[in-house]
């Protein structure tokens, strides 16, 4: 595979370019050698956007401009597995114009998902997400900033999302916005504890073992509790985060997802 090295940040800062498509079709089950068991539409669409800006200058929009390589036809020079694809993208191909790309995990998942499904991907109906609009929704109508910080700015009731774009795939973020309780990682669950002397402690779990639990409480104190000292202890499977399924339009969801995917940490 051959790509021309463009600035990723340029892509992410360009609100009209960075987009998340809204068509949520059926997931695609993989066939072939050592591929993911299925590819998700959100990841395919995220990959399509990255491909459009980063890869088409060399590979063309149909992915067939490099001799011996035709993405739509599944024709590669060296690649067999998904891991091969990831390795080729991140390390490049020495002696060719294919340069290494410093993509994060979510971006790699997107590109691989798109390349594996390029032949059946339909770009019609593409609705782009606007990063700036998404940021406004995050701080405003979405009320996300009342619990989540971004790179240390904001409350710590919920995890800081400053690098969420590197930690989560497009599909996972989409699913979380629609079904936050179902998608919440168990490690982030809320805990409710009552000490033997009656003190009530609520917070977000940071770590737990057989004898102790570590959490950040509602007053943003780091607390470590010994379970033997507690009268009550419960890990809650509910979350205060609302579902945005009926709260946001498809366009607004795309905007918010585009903003979250743009958050790559402080490095």
Partner 1 sequence: MNHSRRTFFLLLLALLVPFVLRAQVTPERLLHASDEPQNWLTYSGSYASQRYSLLKQVDPSNVKNLELKWVFQAQSLQKFETTPLVVDGVMYITQSPNDVVALDPKTGRVFWIYHFATSPAARPCCGIVNRGLAILGDTLFMATVDAHLVAIDAKDGHALWAVKVADAAAGYAMTMAPLVVKDKVIVGVAGGEFGVRGFIAAFEAGTGKQAWHTDTIPDPDQPGHDSWRGADWEHGGAPVWMTGSYDPELNLTYWGTGNPGPDFNAAQRIGDNLYSDSVLALDPDTGKMKWYFQFSPHDPYDYDSVQVPVLANADWNGSPRKLMFWGNRNGFFYVLDRGTGKFLAGKPFAKVNWASGLDANGRPIATPQPPGEPTYPGIQGATNWYSPSYSPRTGLFYLSTWEDYGTIFAGVNVDYKEGTRFAGGANTSPIPGADNPGGIRQGPVNTYTEALATGGVVALDPQTGQRKWKFAMHDVNTSGILTTATDLLFVGGREGYFQALDARTGALLWKENLGGDIIAGPISFQVDGKQYITITAGNSLFAFGLRE
Beta strand ranges found along 121-211 (DSSP E): 190-195, 200-208
Instruction: State which of residues 43, 107, 208, 257 lies at the interface with partner 1 (CB under 8 A).
Output: 208
Beta strand 28-29 with 222-226 is unpaired
Q: Which of residues 95-154 bind partner 1 (CB under 8 A)?
A: none
CB nearer to partner 1: pick between 4 and 86: 86
> Whole-angstrom Cα distance, residue 224 to residue 213?
6
Minimal distance, residue 210 CB to partner 1, in Å:
5
> Whole-angstrom Cα distance, residue 119 to residue 30?
13
Answer for the pair 232, 219: CB distance below 8 angstroms, yes or no: no
Instruction: State which of residues 14, 25, 32, 90 lies at the interface with partner 1 (CB under 8 A).
Output: 32
Per-residue b or e along 213-250, where b marks 16 or more CB atoms closer than 10 Å to that residue's CB: bebbbeeeeeeebeeeebeebeeeeebebeebeeebee
CB nearer to partner 1: pick between 34 and 232: 34
CB nearer to partner 1: pick between 133 and 183: 183
Q: Is 34 in the site for partner 1 (CB under 8 A)?
A: yes
Minimal distance, residue 62 CB to partner 1, in Å:
27
Instruction: State which of residues 73, 123, 141, 187 lies at the interface with partner 1 (CB under 8 A).
Output: 187
Applying CB under 8 A, what is the total number of residues that bind partner 1?
A: 25
Minimal distance, residue 189 CB to partner 1, in Å:
8
Q: Is 210 in the site for partner 1 (CB under 8 A)?
A: yes
Instruction: Map tokens 């993208």 to a residue.
Output: 89
Hey, how many other C-beta atoms are within 10 angstroms of the C-beta on 50?
Answer: 23
Answer for the pair 59, 69: CB distance below 8 angstroms, yes or no: yes
Q: Which of residues 222-241 bind partner 1 (CB under 8 A)?
A: 235
Q: Is 211 in the site for partner 1 (CB under 8 A)?
A: yes
Residues forming contacts to partner 1 in the complex (CB under 8 A) are 30, 32-37, 80, 168, 172, 175, 182-183, 185-187, 189, 205-211, 235
């Amino acid at each position: 595979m051959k790509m021309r090295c463009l600035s990723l940040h340029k892509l992410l800062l360009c609100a009209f370019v960075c987009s998340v498509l809204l068509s949520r079709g059926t997931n695609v089950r993989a066939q072939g050698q050592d591929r993911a068991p299925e590819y998700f539409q959100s990841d395919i669409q995220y990959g399509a956007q990255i491909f459009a800006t980063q890869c088409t200058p060399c590979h063309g929009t149909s992915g067939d401009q490099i001799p011996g390589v035709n993405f739509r036809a599944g024709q590669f020079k060296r690649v067999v597995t998904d891991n091969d694809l990831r390795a080729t993208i991140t390390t490049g191909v020495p002696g060719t114009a294919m340069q290494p790309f410093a993509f994060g995990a979510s971006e790699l998942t997107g590109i691989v998902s798109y390349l594996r499904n390029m032949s059946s991907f339909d770009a019609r109906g593409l609705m782009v997400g606007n990063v700036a609009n998404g940021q406004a929704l995050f701080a405003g109508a979405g009320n996300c900033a009342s619990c989540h910080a971004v790179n240390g700015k904001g409350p710590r009731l919920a995890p800081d999302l400053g690098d969420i774009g590197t930690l989560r795939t497009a599909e996972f973020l989409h699913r979380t916005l629609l079904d936050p309780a179902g998608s919440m990682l168990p490690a982030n669950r809320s805990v409710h504890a009552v000490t033997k002397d009656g003190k009530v402690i609520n917070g977000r779990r940071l770590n737990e073992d057989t004898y102790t639990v570590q959490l950040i409480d509602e007053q943003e104190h780091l607390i470590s509790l010994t379970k033997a000292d507690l009268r009550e202890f419960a890990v809650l499977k509910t979350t205060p985060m609302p579902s945005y399924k009926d709260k946001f339009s498809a366009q607004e969801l795309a905007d918010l997802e585009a903003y979250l995917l743009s958050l790559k940490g402080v490095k």
